Amino acid sequence: MKKVYKLKKGLDFNLEGAALASDCANGKSVPTLPLPQVVAVRPTDFTGVQPKLVVKEGATVLVGDALFVDKATETIQFVSPVSGVVSRVVRGERRKLLRIEVQADKSQQYKQFATKSPAECAAADAVKLLVESGLFAFVRQRPYDVIASPSDSPKAIFVSAFNKMPLASDFNVACAGQEEDFKEGIRLLARIAKVHLGISPEQVNSPLLPVSEACVDIFEGPNPSGNVGVQINQVDPINKGEIVWTVGPEAVVFIGRFLRLGHVDFTRTIAVAGSELKKPTYLKTLIGAPLKDVLGDNLKRTEHVRIINGNPFVGEKADLEDFLGAFSTEVCAIPEGDDVDEPFGWIAPRLNDFSTSYSYFSRLLGKNRSYNLDCRIKGGERHIIMSGEYDRVFPMDIYAGYLVKAILTEDIDRQEALGIYEVAPEDFAVAEFVDSSKLELQRIVREGLDRLRKENS
Amino acid sequence: MIKKFFDKIRPHFEEKGKFSALHSVFEGMETFMLVPNTTSKSGVSIHDAIDSKRIMSFVVIALLPALLFGMYNIGYQNALAAGQLENTSFWAMFIYGFLLVLPKIVVSYAVGLGIEFTVAQLKKEEIQEGFLVTGILIPMIVPVNCPLWMLALAVAFSVILCKEIFGGTGMNIFNPALCARAFLFFSYPTSMSGDNVWLAKEQVLSLGYNLPDATTMATPLGEAAANHPISASLNDMVLGFIPGSIGETSVIAIAIGALILLYTRIASWKTILGVFVGGAVTALLFNFAELENNVASHMSCWEHFATGGFCFGAVFMATDPVTGSRTEEGKFIYGFFIGLLAILIRVLNPGYPEGMMLAILFMNMFAPLIDYCFVQRNINKRLARMKKK
């Protein structure tokens, strides 16, 4: 019997322009984007990594050849999703490595590996396979929510097979036809440590199951119940000194595919969603594909549009010149809102605007309405005035407001006491959305984690 | 159109413009008229439409019934004392009260916002909305005869020493409105309590009636403290036709405000419930104690609720999220002790007929301690979990 965790706290609401699973069902397969001319790998996606370039401009690489490694471990490599020529290394301020662009060959050449079936792997073999293939770059760890270190032995590995963020890609669609790869990936991870797989109640009868190697838990409740951090907190909270690895379900598919093919293949089904798209859809493409290709002529307009690498809650602001992030499972386009003039908004009824506050009456017009929200902050930044706002949408046994204050005051002992090792910035996304004081909670938490990591190292 | 206007005058308020010293004011006015179209840079791209401006505005809206009734009641009490109740129209009484209250509101806002604007400009921050509420609360919790200069002094005291000194709205320890009242209460006791302050005695613009100086009117709590039986009927006390601070008398008007605050979830029902439960329990205990020569101890809990500032304090003061308990678990306890202390002071302290203000200020001080216990419980749980491993 699987254990069901019922979470009450959180927030669900609909945004216009969600990519519908039904569009891809009915036997219609997800369209595949043609191989892009240029693909880019962005070191900034891999949080906590100090990149050290191992290729020069003009070098030829295969799919699976390392482009850069982590300076600290030198073993974790970050590999090219395409074969071709390294065409450009883009650096930003203080020579910070922003991205490595690879010009793709017409026919793709793969670096082949000798793989083993998970049953034959000891823990060390499994880790070695992941490290050598470059797939270890997709393994993150708590505390700090950074890329994990292969030399650690985690107490458990958590995978969440669903995501309830608005406009987020539905993993059942993204994984359709690849369920065996997913299970194989789980099997390999299970050789390293105990794997906890979190699913939503709707996934109980999906072809993702059964996976006997993982401990499957069902999480029922609003966003962020799909956040792996929330699930860890419910199942087996992290204590100081412990390490837990987390792997995104789409990366688990990469692992299974790698075991089957003997080479890496970073094709991912992503959702392209948002109210600024002519037709929200799912499509298959490579990670690092240019967003220009992904969005194509699907955009309704190009001015006053916010393009997001990810979803509107945890995504990163991007533009058409950007590339699909290594962890992005969707690309969204919503109105930017910088051209909107709204007089006296603070007292207007605003029936088309979503709010959790009952001082707005839009909620009376129906729970299943879809909203078209723009990116305006709609208020000035203030001290934390209201109490309990975060706690209403924070389904972890942690006092979110107190933790945020401890981070702001840089009080490390208190951060530890209040449970900072259990959280990641994404866990604060819903709280950041509802915050009437408009604090940038995810940024605050990220900076807090970085500071703490530096302090503890 | 509004946008064009602001765009046109903006250059004057920028760094080197003619009026750069008024930059904060300009910004405040602009965000007041137009929703700023600044968009998010990091983190969530979309935001909930709620902001502190809206929250504060709703508190002000929730205060309006009590304020409007308070204006009417000033005229009513004046006509009642003059024996002219039958001959005075509703509007005459209301406008009379309005004319007496309006200057207080203007002074309160002018002084308070003036200080807030200055501080915002000095700190190069946005103007904080907190004073919108404080500024209307203060005139509502003083007697009608409170002189304007005293009010101005109290507002300045509370904004500077009880709020800005701690870092502004969200950082203060004590409720600023109650600080202003406490300042007046202890600095000018004769203007804040007694039987002589609750009744407006002079005509304004030939409205109302001039009353002889000797006319006095005691509040029900004043009577109880002096060990006289309460003369007002419970009906009048609930409706609010009794003397008292401007906004505190009508339970009905405050209940309307309470409904607005509870529906919008701006006020915590836990705190409000806590205050009433605490008050009821304490009043009942005193009822059983049968103290001699103590009228207040024989008052039933509903008489306690209907008199003085009990309801007003429970709904509008105790629920201040900044100075109250911030943990959900702590809110009931925080409220309970406010109710308990308020009745305790009313009954056992002959010097102060009303205990609500002191009870809330006292519990403001203890709210962090209550929260500490609950947060510490969470911390200990985490420590215990670690040790078990």
Instruction: Return per-residue pLDDT of chain A as tens, 457 residues.
Output: 688 999 999 999 889 998 887 666 555 678 889 999 999 999 999 999 999 999 999 999 999 999 999 998 889 999 999 999 999 999 999 999 999 999 999 999 999 988 888 888 899 999 999 999 999 999 999 999 999 999 999 999 999 999 999 999 999 988 888 999 999 999 999 999 999 999 999 988 888 888 888 999 999 999 899 999 999 999 999 998 899 999 999 999 999 999 999 999 999 999 999 999 998 999 999 999 999 999 988 899 888 899 999 999 999 999 999 999 999 999 999 998 888 777 777 777 777 788 888 888 877 777 788 889 889 888 888 888 888 889 999 999 999 999 999 999 999 999 999 999 999 999 999 999 999 988 999 999 999 999 999 998 8
Supply φ then ψ for residue A329, to 5 degrees: -110, 0
Q: Of A313, A334, A341, which is closest to B3 when you measure between CB atoms? A: A341
Size of interface A-B (CB pairs under 8 A): 211
Contact status, residue A359 vs residue B264, Cβ threshold 8 Å: yes
- Res A135: pLDDT: 94
Asked if B375 is an interface residue toward chain A (Cβ–Cβ < 8 A), one would say yes
Task: Give the distance from residue B278's alpha carbon to the nearest chain A alpha carbon, in angstroms.
Answer: 22
A34-46: buried (b, 16+ CB within 10 Å) or exposed (e) per residue? Answer: ebbebbbbbbebb
Decide if B43 and A354 are in contact by the 8 Å CB cutoff: no
The burial class, CB within 10 Å (0-12 / 13-18 / 19+), for B36 is: middle
Task: Give the distance from residue A354's alpha carbon to the nearest chain B alpha carbon, in angstroms.
Answer: 6
Asked if residue B29 and residue B58 are part of one domain, the reply reads: no
Decide if A337 and B37 are in contact by the 8 Å CB cutoff: yes
Decide if A391 and B34 are in contact by the 8 Å CB cutoff: no
Domain-located, residue B25 = yes
Decide if A379 and B3 are in contact by the 8 Å CB cutoff: no
Residues of A in contact with B42 (CB under 8 A): 317, 440, 442-443
Q: Residue B333 belongs to what domain range? A: 52-207+216-377
Q: Of A241, A347, A355, which is closest to B57 when you measure between CB atoms? A: A347
Whole-number Å distance between alpha carbons of A403 and B44: 19
B48-63: buried (b, 16+ CB within 10 Å) or exposed (e) per residue? Answer: bbbbbbbbbbbbbebb
Beta partners for residue A214, in sequence order: A195
First-to-last alpha carbon distance for chain B, in angstroms, is 66
The residue-averaged pLDDT of B229-233 equals: 78
Domain-located, residue B46 = no
Quick one: pLDDT band at residue B327, thresholds 50, 70, 90?
very high
Residues of A in contact with B324 (CB under 8 A): 387
Decide if B35 and A336 are in contact by the 8 Å CB cutoff: no
Decide if B35 and A237 are in contact by the 8 Å CB cutoff: no
Beta partners for residue A220, in sequence order: A6
For chain A, the domains span 1-32+113-337, 38-104, 339-372, 391-456
Asked if residue B137 and residue B6 are part of one domain, the reply reads: no
Q: Of A240, A344, A359, which is closest to B58 when you measure between CB atoms? A: A359
B195 or A232, higher pLDDT: A232
Could you give the number of structural domains in chain B?
Answer: 2
Decide if A337 and B378 are in contact by the 8 Å CB cutoff: no
Domain-located, residue B95 = yes
Asked if B4 is an interface residue toward chain A (Cβ–Cβ < 8 A), one would say no
Domain-located, residue B383 = no
Contact status, residue B356 vs residue A208, Cβ threshold 8 Å: no
Domain-located, residue B271 = yes
Whole-number Å distance between alpha carbons of A233 and B70: 52
Decide if B2 and A341 are in contact by the 8 Å CB cutoff: yes
Name the residue in chain B with its Cα closest to that of A362. Answer: B49
Asked if residue B174 and residue B110 are part of one domain, the reply reads: yes
- Window 40-69 of B: residues touching A by CB (8 A cutoff) are 40-55, 57-58
Asked if B262 is an interface residue toward chain A (Cβ–Cβ < 8 A), one would say no
- Measure CA A195 to chain center: 19
Q: Of A237, A355, A376, which is closest to B385 when you measure between CB atoms? A: A237
* E-state strands within A23-80: 38-41, 51-53, 60-61, 66-70, 77-79
Name the residue in chain A with its Cα closest to that of B61. Answer: A347
Decide if B39 and A375 are in contact by the 8 Å CB cutoff: yes
Whole-number Å distance between alpha carbons of B200 and B209: 9
Can you give the pTM of this predicted structure? 0.91
Asked if residue B263 and residue B195 are part of one domain, the reply reads: yes
* CA torsion, ordered B360, B362, B367, B368, to nearest 10 deg: 150
- Residue spans of alpha helices (H) in chain B: 2-13, 23-33, 52-82, 90-123, 130-140, 148-157, 176-187, 189-192, 220-225, 234-239, 251-263, 269-289, 295-298, 301-306, 310-312, 328-348, 356-388
SS3 A216: strand
* CA torsion, ordered B191, B132, B30, A435, to nearest 10 deg: 160
Residues of B in contact with A338 (CB under 8 A): 37, 39
Asked if B212 is an interface residue toward chain A (Cβ–Cβ < 8 A), one would say no
Asked if residue B28 and residue B88 are part of one domain, the reply reads: no
Task: Give the distance from residue B226's alpha carbon to the nearest chain A alpha carbon, in angstroms.
Answer: 40
Residues of A in contact with B379 (CB under 8 A): 417-418
Name the residue in chain B with its Cα closest to that of A413. Answer: B379
Asked if residue B155 and residue B26 are part of one domain, the reply reads: no
- Res B203: pLDDT: 77
Could you give the C-alpha distances from B190 to B185, B198, B324, in angstroms and in order? 8, 11, 30
Asked if B264 is an interface residue toward chain A (Cβ–Cβ < 8 A), one would say yes
The CATH number covering residue B97 comes to: 1.10.3430
Helix axes B148-157, B176-187, angle to 10 degrees: 130
Task: Give the distance from residue A108's alpha carbon to the nearest chain B alpha carbon, in angstroms.
Answer: 36
Q: Does domain A38-104 have CATH number 2.40.50.100?
A: yes
Decide if B379 and A239 are in contact by the 8 Å CB cutoff: no
Asked if residue B324 and residue B288 are part of one domain, the reply reads: yes
Asked if residue B63 and residue B24 are part of one domain, the reply reads: no
Task: Give the distance from residue B136's alpha carbon to the nearest chain A alpha carbon, in angstroms.
Answer: 18
This complex has an ipTM of 0.88
Residues of A in contact with B171 (CB under 8 A): 383
Whole-number Å distance between alpha carbons of A251 and A135: 8
Q: For A170, which DSSP code?
A: P
Decide if A388 and B58 are in contact by the 8 Å CB cutoff: no
